[in-house]
Amino acid sequence: MKLNRSEITKIVSGKILQNEPMSRHTTFRIGGKCDFYVEVKTTVELKSLIKLCLKKKIPYQIIGFGSNILVKDEGVRGIVIRLTGDLSSLNFRLQKKSAVAGGGCALQLFVKNCADNGLSGAESLVGIPGTVGGAVIMNAGTKEGYIGSLVKSVTVMNEKGEIKKLDKKSLRFSYRGSNIPPKNIIISAEFLLKKKSKSDIIKNLNKLMHRRVKTQPFGFYNAGCIFKNLAGDYAARLIDRTGLKGASVGGAVVSKLHANFINNTGVATAEDVLKLIKNIQKKVKEKFNKNLELEIKIIGG
């Protein structure tokens, strides 16, 4: 069924952009146009929009900061939703050593504010782009720690617009994943932290950030690590040993600093990236007989 702009305008108070290039909303700076890009500010707006999509059979996707996705050149049909306003809020309950963040809250705002409030636990997440919601769904983290270990509860909205609170007991986090159903939208998450001196937290943040900047390509258009690590081995090590650093297709290049990153020189298409991904998977399979699985999500097409 077709959707008119006016139907969305009636529901949503945030930005509504039609035929919007997704390259403007992804850290890869790649992606064709979506039918509608909509910024939703409250739970009520989100619920009405989801119900409209359900009624009119319009597909929708939540994107955080578009930092872990590759959007195809053909673009995305339906609505791409960003959570802003109340849905990106951040509140601390210092007595309880807890924080409640909206799904659309910037992960780095959360990390910084934890430090400012003398609350420790989120340091391992420093430098990871994206939103709190995206980070929780995929259990973002590093060897130092994962966001899932901080979660006390998560409030989600399902595809019917119903809201549910999932507590720690019912939640399962794994390497780059969780048991939160894929069609659920994270409205907010509550985190439990520990009291620590602000200066110790900041010292640790600086140390971890320094290491990140030295080992990963910053200031480039990319989507973080492309492949998941394997049980007992690192995707980056396998790609590196296959001699693929610097390999390219069109404007997509395997980073010379970290082999599990693909940088967009500025002119890459999604097709370039997908071809390079296939080349990497084929060559690693030939050399090590190992299958590299995607860490990033491919959307659209």
Give contact residues for ligand EPU (rule: CB under 6 A): 142-143, 215, 224-225, 228-229, 234-237, 240, 258-260, 295
CA angle 157-123-261, nearest 5°? 80
Q: Which residue has 């932290």 as its token pair?
A: 193
Which CB atom, from 104 or from 224, has the smaller least distance to ligand EPU? 224
Helices (H), 124-269: 132-137, 198-215, 235-241
Which CB atom, from 49 or from 151, has the smaller least distance to ligand EPU? 151
Picking from 286, 226, 287, 283, the residue whose alpha carbon sits closest to that of residue 259 is 226
d(CA 55, CA 53): 6
d(CA 242, CA 227): 15
- Residue 5's CB is within 10 A of a number of other CB atoms, namely 12
Picking from 99, 147, 104, 103, the residue whose alpha carbon sits closest to that of residue 123 is 147
d(CA 96, CA 77): 43
**Closest CB 20 distance from ligand EPU, rounded Å:** 25
**Closest CB 301 distance from ligand EPU, rounded Å:** 22
Which CB atom, from 72 or from 258, has the smaller least distance to ligand EPU? 258
8 A C-beta contact, residue 112 and residue 202: no
Which CB atom, from 84 or from 260, has the smaller least distance to ligand EPU? 260
**Closest CB 62 distance from ligand EPU, rounded Å:** 19
Instruction: Report the catalytic residues.
Output: 176, 225, 295
Which CB atom, from 122 or from 236, has the smaller least distance to ligand EPU? 236
**Closest CB 235 distance from ligand EPU, rounded Å:** 6
**Closest CB 138 distance from ligand EPU, rounded Å:** 8
